[in-house]
Structure 1
């Protein structure tokens, strides 16, 4: 189970915010956001993030490749077992402090927005991720479980550790968000 302080904070049914204190320096953390090979260790590979607002980039999510530990993919995610791609557009690009981009909000083709803000705090980096314009509570719970788990993998990677399987970390997280987020 996760530490309560790691949980995202809901605002209404369309926004969630995560905060972490990561090992720095800030330029290193920035590279884990924008460089495909580093981002692929915790979130999704694909294209490097273009260095300009309006630039488009692809992310390729393959949760089974985020750790050498292999565990079965949960049944409801089996259709993504071999990976899934999505397109994103840069909405803010202010290295090494702010990265914003669009996010697909599910099969209905809706778009939401992700904003990641970094601030150097000595040898640490304050990482704040805000995901806005979600289509409702279901999307909020869904993306919260995903971000929560991906950020746990990022913390492990930045601390020089090999994470356990994404699916092991993910187990039960969405259910916790389902219980703790306000209904309606």
Structure 2
């Protein structure tokens, strides 16, 4: 995966049904890898779920977005308090690449590359089925990555649901119809 020409916090369409996001993160690749693969660290910014780090291994992601920040905000109608998703690892190259299935909308890959004392994280979500899913997923990844940055820096986390709702409107405007 090549770097975007002008990476910023917003995801971009790199193919018609593929959203790519990049973040420059503090710390070593090994530290960031741990936040991607270890359930207790991953649940601080995305979802819990124990992974066996083997290609083909099944695992389950368990979201509790209300618990991601001290003040999560009002959960939008239609979103459960807890959501579970079965996945399986499709590609693994520790500590540089992790890819897995994403039920209902393709697959997700995380690539890590050292940049001095920082790490470039590239998230690619492929085969998003429609524009509504694309804007929801764009806002979700954006907000979850903001929480990852805060977790890695030891900073306070912004309220999840308020941020997601604001970002969904932004992605509605930024992404082509």
Provide TM-score, normalisation by structure 1. Answer: 0.88
* 1:42 counterpart = 2:45: yes
* 1:155 counterpart = 2:155: no
Whole-Å Cα distance in 1 between the matches of residues 17 and 114 of structure 2?
28
Provide the secondary structure at the position in 1 that maps to 2:136: helix
Which deviates more from structure 2 when the two are superposed, residues 150-159 or residues 169-178? 169-178
Provide the secondary structure at the position in 2 that maps to 1:148: helix
Q: CA deviation at 1:164?
A: 2.2
Whole-Å Cα distance in 1 between the matches of residues 67 and 29 of structure 2?
25
Q: CA deviation at 1:35?
A: 0.4
Change (3 A) 1:121 1:11: closer
CA contact 1:9–1:16 (8 Å) conserved in 2: yes
Q: Which segments of structure 1 move beyond 3 Å, counting only runs of 4 or more?
A: none
Whole-Å Cα distance in 2 between the matches of residues 180 and 54 of structure 1?
35
> Which residue is equivalent to 1:55?
57
Whole-Å Cα distance in 2 between the matches of residues 94 and 171 of structure 1?
34
Whole-Å Cα distance in 2 between the matches of residues 36 and 112 of structure 1?
22
Whole-Å Cα distance in 2 between the matches of residues 46 and 40 of structure 1?
8
Whole-Å Cα distance in 2 between the matches of residues 138 and 70 of structure 1?
23
> Which residue is equivalent to 2:33?
30
* Unpaired segments ≥5 residues, structure 2: 1-6
* 1:17 counterpart = 2:11: no
Count of residue pairs the alignment pairs up:
171
Out of 66, 70, 91, the residue aligned to residue 68 of structure 2 is 66
Which deviates more from structure 2 when the two are superposed, residues 88-97 or residues 64-73? 64-73
Provide the secondary structure at the position in 2 that maps to 1:104: coil
* Unpaired segments ≥5 residues, structure 1: 106-110
Q: CA deviation at 1:12?
A: 4.2
Whole-Å Cα distance in 2 between the matches of residues 147 and 70 of structure 1?
16
Provide TM-score, normalisation by structure 2. Answer: 0.92
Whole-Å Cα distance in 2 between the matches of residues 34 and 72 of structure 1?
29
Provide the secondary structure at the position in 2 that maps to 1:128: strand
